[in-house]
Structures are given as C-alpha cells and as structure tokens.
Amino acid sequence: MSIGVILKLHKRIWTLSSVFRQLREMHARWGVHVVALMDRPTLEVATYARGEVWSLPMTFINLDFEVVGLAGEQFARADNLALEVFEGIRPDWVYMQDDDRWFEPGYEAELSELFGAQRYDVAYVRSLFFWEPHKVRLDFFTHCSPALWRWQPSIRYPLDRNLWTPAPLVDAARANGRAIILRSRFCDWGYSTPEERERVAHAFFSAGKIDLVTTALLEPARQLIDYDKIKDNKEIPNASL
C-alpha cells in the first residue's frame, strides 16, 4: 500500500510543521511518496521542506510558471508534473495535499477502511475554514472536493477542468456509485488571518478569478463558531454528491 502525495509549496511557513507531521503519520501507517511542487517558495519554506527528506520519500519539482498569476490558474499543468513522477512509483492512491490544511484527529480508521476495500475510487473531503484561532466560519462556501483517488496509469488532469481528481475519474466514479464523502474533514488554516485572506484574494484577482468565493475572503464573517462546539458533529458542513 502506498499513497502518492501532491503538495504545492509557496510562501506559507507557519502551517508546514502540522502538514508534515501528518504526512509522517501517514507514511508510518501506509507509506507515502511526496511530490513537492515548488511554486516560487520563500527560502524559509524551501529549506524547511527539503529538511523533510530525512523522514519522507520526496521528489522536488521547481515550477517555471506561476500556479496562480497573470496567466490565470495553472493547477492542472502543475499537478500533471506530479503524475509523471507517479508513473515510476505506481502508488495505490493519490492524495491532494495543500500547505495550509490537514485532517482532523481520528482520520486514520476511515482512511484505512477506504484503502483496504475496493468499494470506492474517489473520496471527497469537506473543509472547515478557520477564520480566527479556534473559530470556524460557517457562512463561507461549502468546500467538498475529491482529495483522494485510486491511481491509474497514464491518467492526467484535463487543462480545462480544475478539480483535485482528474475529471474523467470523477465523472466515472459519480456515475457508477464509486465516490464517497468522508466523515473525516480538513481543518483549513489558509484564511485564518486578515493578512492571509487579503493576500490570497488578490492573488486570485490577478489571475482573473473574481467570484463569490474570492470576494467573500474580504467580507466580514457573519457566522463564526468555536471549533470545540462542532468538532464532534460530523454533519457540518452539510454536503452531498
């Protein structure tokens, strides 16, 4: 059993200790190979990530283009470089990691069940967005994305559909009842300070992505709740396939 992990690294340093701590947990349990897509990282971020090669199998790819920039969003172009690496590694599953989120505690049993069965090919994960320390924003959009998928040789991300799993696999899994929404959720800390929200919003604005999601980053939160009050209620946020 092995997991191919796609991890984009840019400017965030303060979340990386938690990201890599969980990746080390996953490696001890299932085995991982991390492909780190280096999207103009700061020296601090690059140094930290390269220090993890002592504890995790890793491949580093220095991107010669901006994932989000004046040329628009180029997530699929970057992710396909990771899939080229996986052709030689042949993982059982692919996991779309990010530099600002990780699973809540207690995810291991559900992932072990997912990996051990042949029932599903795509697993969606919902996100809890932290807006302040220990407070989750509930009036933000519901983010439920296909973060885990059963690897197939030669599969690539279509450049015209921006999904965490290659769109043909998503379409097939949903049509055939082989997609599931996990009860385990992501804790997403990427928007947890005003400075980060403004930085991310303007990065997407420069790429031409101006919509309800990106503009909401700069709007006051209307509904904040302590994480401790909802951590055991796995129905939040509500989502369906």
> Which pLDDT tens digit goes with each residue over 58-70?
999 999 999 998 8
The answer as to whether 54 is a domain residue is yes
Q: Number of structural domains, the chain? A: 1
pLDDT of residue 213: 84
Amino acid at 65: F
Angle ∠(204,159,183) on CA atoms, nearest 5: 70
Cβ atoms of 32 and 23 closer than 8 Å: yes
Give the C-alpha separation, 33 to 137, whole Å.
33
For residue 241, give Cα distances in angstroms to 24, 107, 180. Answer: 30, 20, 8
The answer as to whether 80 is a domain residue is yes
Instruction: Domain of residue 48: give its range.
Output: 3-126+141-156+165-185
Cβ atoms of 36 and 85 closer than 8 Å: no
Query: 65: Cβ–Cβ under 8 A, 6 or more apart, which residues?
Result: 71, 74, 77, 78
pLDDT in tens, the chain (241 residues): 999 999 999 999 999 999 999 999 999 999 999 999 999 999 999 999 999 999 999 999 999 999 998 888 899 999 999 999 999 999 999 999 999 999 999 999 999 999 999 999 999 999 999 998 889 999 888 889 999 999 999 999 999 988 999 999 999 999 999 999 999 999 999 999 999 999 988 888 988 888 888 888 999 899 999 999 999 999 999 888 8
The answer as to whether 74 is a domain residue is yes
The answer as to whether 219 is a domain residue is no
Q: Which of the 8 DSSP states describes residue 221?
A: P
Cβ atoms of 179 and 170 closer than 8 Å: yes
The answer as to whether 27 is a domain residue is yes
Burial grade of 231 (CB within 10 A; 0-12, 13-18, 19 or more): middle
Q: In the beta sheet, which residues pair with residue 123?
A: 148, 180
CATH number of domain containing 108: 3.90.550.10
Does a cis peptide bond (omega within 30 degrees of 0) precede residue 168? no
The answer as to whether 207 is a domain residue is no
The answer as to whether 88 is a domain residue is yes
Return the SS3 of 171. Answer: helix
pTM over 0.75? The answer is yes
The answer as to whether 65 is a domain residue is yes
